[in-house]
Amino acid sequence: MKTKSRGRITMALAVNTSRFDNITMAPPDPILGVSEAFKADTSDMKLNLGVGAYRTEELQPYVLKVVKKAENLMLERGENKEYLPIEGLAAFNKATAELLFGADNPVLHQQRVATIQGLSGTGSLRVAAALIERYFPGAKVLISSPTWGNHKNIFNDARVPWSEYRYYDPKTVGLDFDGMIADIKAAPDGSFVLLHGCAHNPTGIDPTPEQWEKIADVIQEKNHIPFFDVAYQGFASGSLDEDASSVRLFAARGMELLVAQSYSKNLGLYAERVGAINVLCSSADAAVRVKSQLKRIARPMYSNPPVHGARIVANVVGNPDFFNEWKEEMEMMAGRIKSVRQKLYNNLSAKDKSGKDWSFILKQIGMFSFTGLNKAQSDNMTDKWHVYMTKDGRISLAGLSAAKCEYLADAIIDSYHNVS
């Protein structure tokens, strides 16, 4: 590039450096990266069991019929796109708290729940993490081992310390209940205990009702604060009430608690980013103050939440016909996942002549199954069989069709027995 300077021609050399040269390349996301690798695979046999998103029997994305009806209603009303308040859509907040706790729950009538709309489950967890960091300095969050891949990222980003409690027992491919209880007991008094309300991700292993009672006993004894992540209400068992029973048990004991909610799975609103953070307090006065601080945290973080998904939820829950149709569709989706879970088990049991007991697959619940495969075996699933999954052995049964169950069983048996 030539430039004039006081009558002389000077040469300015372009310097190919950046102020951002010290920023390193981030590693690929362990879950979303699976989908990217799947898309690049040209095999006709490829199967994406990585991301937790519901698919039809034809393995296509599914938009619920009731969602389409709710959206048509929104068009008919000619609703605008004005900003929502910081706390979100009032009709949504009312509906989501009632779905979680039950419309007749005294905690709602006593106005002891602070609810704000969040950016699905992730955003709601992140707001709660900021609340913990700000008002419970030094408090630790106990996280199950293993847990959803984003939990640790969220607390790390919020600078909230965390440690793990035992959950998965590889020997039984079941719940290490004694280890879980021991670790919760050993934690410093007043810790936050992150619990999966239903359909534990990634294991699909949930405590029994009796075990939930014992977990609540220990948390109360230690003066811990339960923090539920409820991402699958209605999608695990097919029943909204059954899948909220753990949260309602703790609420009925008079415990203060936090609950993050998501409507990505149960209404298929993955891209709408609609969820909520609820804080159950011991008094209405405390709930008012907590809500004010949740709003204060949200304001510089994202200002206010999106309206479209919130209106869908409010319309579905607020219309009795829509609400019943939604419950039927949830039962259908949950039923399809239960069906392929059973068929996968049947194929594994019939084809594997080693005598291995695969019944743990039937004891798990929700969209995931924790296969017990290690990283090398999971790599074999992908490299040899074109089955894409997370490296901890988790598969999403929501992405499996009945027609592919036999193929998947062959892949699992081969990987389990022939790869160490």
What average pLDDT does this structure show over 296-313?
97
Query: What residues contact 225, with CB distance under 8 A and at least 6 apart?
Result: 190, 191, 192, 193, 219, 256, 257, 258
Q: Is the pLDDT of residue 3 over 90?
A: no
What is the three-state SS of 41-101?
CCCCCCEECCCCCCECCCCCECCCHHHHHHHHHHHHHCCCCCCCCCCCCHHHHHHHHHHHH
Separation between Cα atoms, residue 378 and residue 44, nearest integer Å: 19
Query: Which residues are catalytically annotated?
Result: 148, 229, 265
Query: Which residue in the block uniquely carries the two structure tokens 């979303």?
Result: 32
Separation between Cα atoms, residue 396 and residue 232, nearest integer Å: 13
pLDDT at position 33, please?
A: 80
Which of residues 5 and 206 earns the better pLDDT score? 206
**Both tokens assigned to 282:** 């011991």
The CA R_g of the chain, rounded to the nearest whole Å, is: 24
pLDDT at position 6, please?
A: 55
Q: Is the pLDDT of residue 35 over 90?
A: no
pLDDT tens digit string along 45-67?
999 998 888 999 999 999 999 99
- Amino acid residing at 350: A
In 3D space, the residue among 170, 235, 198, 174 whose CA is nearest the CA of residue 361 turns out to be 174
pLDDT tens digit string along 378-401?
999 999 999 999 888 999 999 999
Q: Is 28 helix (H, G, I), strand (E, B) or coil?
A: coil
- Helix or strand holding residue 221 (H, E): helix 209-221
Q: Is 277 helix (H, G, I), strand (E, B) or coil?
A: strand
Range with lowest mean pLDDT among 113-117, 162-166, 322-326, 391-395: 391-395
- CA distances to 51, 302, 372, 394 from 174, rounded to whole Å, are 22, 39, 10, 14
